[in-house]
Amino acid sequence: MPDSATATPPPVTGKYAIAIHGGAGIEPAKLSANEKAAYEKALVDCLAVGEKILANGGTALDAVEQTIHALEDEPLFNAGRGAVFNSAGKHELDASIMDGSTRACGAVASVTTVRHPISLARLVMTDTKQVLLIAEGAEKLADSYPRLERVSNDWFSTPARRAEWEAKQAKERAKEPAKDTGPASKGTVGCVALDKAGHLAAGTSTGGMTNKPLGRVGDSPIIGAGTYAEDGVCAVSCTGTGEEFIRASAAFHLAALIRYKKLPLADAAEELLTKILPADAGGIISLDAAGNVALRHNTSGMSRASVDAAGKRVVALGDN
């Protein structure tokens, strides 16, 4: 048996915790004071959505879904409105959600007309026998739910994302070395939550990578790679270069370090980001059963915010 210093802390009830991210790859040093303030305000506002639900006794799953709604509607982040363009000049959106109390999960990929892909992912989880639906299949499922808001594909567009895409295409035409730049280069949004009943949940949503090949899918809709939640262990949402997180089964890898190696959350997050994932891959947000928070990245920055079970609050973009 592990000793008390390394044992997973016991679950808590009657308290809540929540953490969000708006993507890794952001470079705080290149942002103006006004730009930093805008990111921080967006994080605070989105975090407040889920915190209110949890404070009022709501479920972790509802907090995750509604918080990601807010993140998907914030044009600063690469999900929903503000999603990046693919190589064809369109938007293909991915999302996943997982209930830690049952390990039920649902995901969608290459969605093009659903305003809130995270809600469609939840319907895959609750209303079908599948885990992942893509493209036309996911859109067909959405047709069955009039309450799901639908939008034209260009609704997701913003001038900033179009400029990023045009710059990326210009570099490729000039055959310059490929390099992801800009705050959306490794962008994703995510939320993890612990409710007062002691249940965990996690969700992730993204527009993918700027100028991605048509049909490219990263880690965000892959359970165990970009999203994972298990009561008594942890909830995690990842952001970064999706292919690296898929290769590492990153989200489940973090849970395995806690469950099998008996590492505390902070140590498990450190090991994942420094020993398992390559440098500049991205970052994670995570909660354990006791409401401890680990926000970790190996990129230049990661926009993030949290409140743990002890009430400690964090809003940050860089290493601070």
Mean pLDDT by 10 residues, the chain (320 residues): 51 92 93 97 98 98 98 97 97 98 98 98 98 98 97 97 94 71 68 98 97 96 98 98 97 98 98 97 97 97 97 92
DSSP code for 113: S
What integer pLDDT is reported at residue 173 of this predicted model? 85
Length of the chain: 320
Give 50's contacts (C-beta < 8 A, 6+ positions apart): 18, 20, 63, 64, 66, 67, 191, 193
DSSP code for 243: H
CB 254 within 8 A of CB 226: no
Catalytic residue numbers read 188
In the chain, where the domains are located: 17-316
Q: What percent of the chain has pLDDT over 70?
A: 94
What integer pLDDT is reported at residue 187 of this predicted model? 77
What letters, b where the CB count within 10 A reaches 16 and e where it falls short, cover 111-127? bbbbbbbbbbbbbbbee
What integer pLDDT is reported at residue 10 of this predicted model? 77
Superfamily of structural domain 17-316: (Glycosyl)asparaginase (3.60.20.30)
Q: Torsion-angle region of residue 57: left (phi > 0), alpha (psi -120 to 50) or beta? A: left
What integer pLDDT is reported at residue 303 of this predicted model? 97
Considering the entire predicted model, what is its pTM? Answer: 0.94
What integer pLDDT is reported at residue 228 of this predicted model? 99
Mean pLDDT over the full length of the chain: 94
What integer pLDDT is reported at residue 2 of this predicted model? 39
